[in-house]
Amino acid sequence: MFVLMRALTYAVLFIGLVLVYLPSRVLVWAGVNSPAHTGGAQSAGIALASLGAAIALWCVGAFIALGKGTPAPFDPPRRLVVGGPYRFVRNPMYWGAMLVIAGGALYYESVALAAFGGAFLLVAHLFVLVYEEPTLRRNFGPAYAAYCGRVERWWPHLAPR
């Protein structure tokens, strides 16, 4: 139960900062208001953001159930998580977050929010290369190396290898 509370706290903080607060600041800075109508872009944005949110929540659930920890770097899983969405791609949580941001960019028809999404991907990629992967190699050794051999870092495979 305690791991669930820790994971939910992290998820709320991450989602609140990266997927709500920062994008709202970008929209304000860019002078973007809510769309006056709901058209195709808004419908597609809602669908994309919903898919991204579902993926992110699936990832949090996998960290709790399979990893016995949280996605937070300061409270990592105790076991290597290779199931759930992690059997398709090594970084599905970043995919989920990016889909939420892309959905918001579509909904608001905002180039500034799309640029924020690009910056988010760059920062995530650097974080994965500089911190996450070396830490996982150190903590999980051969099991992580085997996982990297089966699953791509960024490009999902619909059928796990």
Q: What is the pLDDT of residues 73-131, one digit of tens each?
A: 777 888 999 999 999 999 999 999 999 999 999 999 999 999 999 999 999 999 999 99
Q: Is the pLDDT of residue 34 over 90?
A: no
Contacts of 53 (CB under 8 A, 6+ apart): 96, 100
Reported pTM: 0.84
- Residue 74's CB is within 10 A of a number of other CB atoms, namely 6
More confident residue, 141 or 74: 141
What does the pLDDT average to over 60-68?
88
Query: Which has more confidence, 50 or 161?
Result: 50
Q: Using 50, 70 and 90 to split pLDDT, how confident is the model at 16?
A: confident
pLDDT bin (cut points 50, 70, 90) of residue 160 is low
Record the tokens describing residue 43, joined without a space.
Answer: 């419908």
The C-alpha angle with vertex 20 and arms to 113 and 121, in degrees rounded to 5, equals 50
Question: How is residue 31 annotated by DSSP?
Answer: T
**For a pLDDT cut of 90, what percent of the chain falls above it?**
60
Written as six digits, the tokens of 139 are: 């903590």
Contacts of 117 (CB under 8 A, 6+ apart): 98, 101, 102, 105
What token pair was written down for 40? 């195709």
- Alpha-carbon distance values, 88 to 91, 126, 154 (Å): 9, 21, 10
Question: Is residue 141's pLDDT more than 90?
Answer: yes
Rank 21-25, 64-68, 96-100 by mean pLDDT and report only the highest.
96-100
Q: What are the backbone dihedrals phi and psi of residue 157, each rounded to the nearest 5 degrees, phi first?
A: -115, 130
